[in-house]
Amino acid sequence: MTVERRTVDSLFEPPGYAHVAIASGRAVFTAGAVPLNDAGQLVGEGVREQTRQVIENLLAQLAAGGAQPDDVVKTTVYVVADERATLTEAWDVVRTSALAGAPSTLLGVAALGYDGQLVEIEAVAVVD
């Protein structure tokens, strides 16, 4: 499997991720990872803590599909937020994680599926 990540010279340089990923191999799609532990309890009260748990859960999902962080070609990050500072809190965790280089979309949303849930991340990976 190969993944080539590119930025586009004629576009504004993205902060720490690629504009495009070009991959060959078998696709692995995850459901949105949520900040629940193995007992189904919400982990973390703030955006940063929940983002850390979500990434941990997402990495487990990827591994179940035979993928590693370097195989990820796209992430979508959903954050319950009505101001940019809250989005930045989540992004600060993502951009220092093993998923940082993949093309990503960061979205502020009104609500997510679980009571108290502030963050959800889904990923697409490509493996051999």
Give the pLDDT score at 107. Answer: 97
Of 43, 100, 115, 104, nearest to 78 (Cα)?
A: 104
CATH 3.40.640.10 fits 2-127, yes or no: no
What single string gives the DSSP state of each residue in the chain?
-EEEEE--TTSPPPSSS-SEEEEESEEEEPPPB-SB-TTS-B--SSHHHHHHHHHHHHHHHHHHTT--GGGEEEEEEEEE-SSHHHHHHHHHHHTTSTTTTS-EEEEEES--SSTT--EEEEEEEEE-
Which range, of 2-16, 58-72, 94-108, averages the lowest pLDDT? 2-16
Q: What is the mean pLDDT of the chain?
A: 94
Sorted by where each begins, the domain ranges of the chain are 2-127
Give the pLDDT score at 40. Answer: 93
Q: Mind listing the pLDDT tens digit for each residue in 24-76?
A: 889 999 999 999 999 999 998 899 999 999 999 999 999 999 999 999 999 99
**Alpha carbons within 13 A on the beta-carbon side of 117:** 22
Q: CA–CA separation, 117 vs 47, rounded Å?
A: 9
Q: CA–CA separation, 74 vs 99, rounded Å?
A: 9
Report percent pLDDT > 90 for the chain. 83
Give the pLDDT score at 16. Answer: 83
